[in-house]
Amino acid sequence: MTSPTSTTLVDVRDLNVHFRVRRGLAASRSIKAVDGVSFELSPGQTLGIAGESGSGKSTVARTLVQIIRPTGGTISLDGEVVTNLKGSRLRRYRRRMQMVYQDPYDSLDPRMMIREAIGEALAVRGLAKSQHKDEVNQLLHRVNLPASVATRYPGQLSGGQRQRVSIARALAVNPEVIICDEAVAALDVSIRAQVLNLLKDIQRDTGVGYLFISHDLSTLRFMADHVAVMYVGRIVEYGTSDEVFANPLHPYTKALISAVPSVTSRGQMRLKLSGEPPDPGNPPSGCPFHPRCPEAIDECRRERPELLMTSSGQRVACHVVSARQRKESAKGSA
């Protein structure tokens, strides 16, 4: 694991989010939504988090903005530990990390004019009411929306327009990081491209860091500099976007990538992924992927694999890959 450098923007170590669920009067079990997750985000970069539903990626997002409190681990922003903030420190922190949500219909208050919705963020920033109008127009311009949108209501806008408003609102407080939680998943494909390009422009202009959460790998390929693949609350593969997509190591990653339709992959065999993601409250023993894994070996059933660095610089949590690595390095030194 690389140690956090002074250029690291967000540093997450061993994040744990365990929920206690009561069963009956006495017994209770814990659902490990996020189980020992660590990653870094550098300024001006995008970290993509991939995974299916139940992988814990949305929980990670919500923990970072402190909507959900983690049960363990640390989160640092710009070197400052921000894991369990309260009161005024929490309020000051909130401005630095913002979120754009999946549902364009529900993330804006239907009873508030767009101008008021963005104005709310400006008020948090401390901007005087007299200057709101101009700033709102500027922000709308930034997200390629006409100024006339300011006096409309969310119900009068399309999905793509609403997401742009959400982005404008997030930008209004000048955050250092923006978390996009499936921000384009609910949009039509043609609109999706526009919004993604917009996000890239903004990053180029302001140097804001993105944590981009998506189940859609083609989106991540486009947006992310680094990718972390999550499965049942853990990261199973982690590396630069190029590495992971060109040379996926973990069997789960391989299956996900092969499922993405691509113009170039002609006649390539699709790795079929059978079964469903397991219940996070009752994960399989050892490596949680082993029941569906085509390459599983004995050890996979017994022991949970650690996230280890490979010779190529990627990090993978897989016994099979580790075994292969050991064989190769043994061969190399022989």
Q: Which residues bind other proteins (CB under 8 A)?
A: 23-25, 65, 67, 90-92, 94-95, 98-99, 101, 103, 105-113, 120-121, 124, 153, 155-156, 166, 169, 173
Distance of CA 218 to the CA centre of its chain: 14
Q: In which element (H, E) is residue 175 found?
A: none
**Could you tell me the smallest distance in angstroms from the CB atom of residue 205 to other proteins?**
21
Tokens describing residue 63: 């923990």
CA dihedral 129, 161, 214, 55 (to 10 degrees): 70
Smaller CB distance to other proteins: residue 274 or 282?
282
- Shortest Cβ 203–other proteins spacing (Å): 19
The rounded distance, in Å, linking the Cα atoms of 236 and 231 is: 7
We find the least distance from the C-beta atom of residue 81 to other proteins, in angstroms, to be 19
Q: How many CB atoms lie within 10 A of CB 148?
A: 9
Nearer to other proteins, 55 or 166 (CB): 166
Whole-number Å distance between alpha carbons of 334 and 327 = 10
Please state, in angstroms and as integers, the Cα–Cα distance from residue 296 to each residue in 250, 269, 305, 322, following that order: 11, 19, 12, 12
Show Cβ contacts of residue 160 under 8 Å, excluding neighbours closer than 6 positions: 104, 187, 188, 191, 194, 195
Q: Which is nearer to other proteins, 150 or 273 (CB)?
A: 150
Indicate the residue among 113 and 271 with the shorter CB distance to other proteins.
113
Closest contact distance (angstroms) between CB of 21 and other proteins is: 10
Query: From the CB of 85, what's the least distance to other proteins, in Å?
Result: 11
Task: Report in angstroms how near the CB of residue 175 gets to other proteins at its nearest.
Answer: 10
> Which of 5, 53 has the CB closer to other proteins?
53
Strand 209-214 vs strand 46-50: parallel, antiparallel, or unpaired?
parallel
Q: With respect to other proteins, which residue has the nearer C-beta, 92 or 326? A: 92
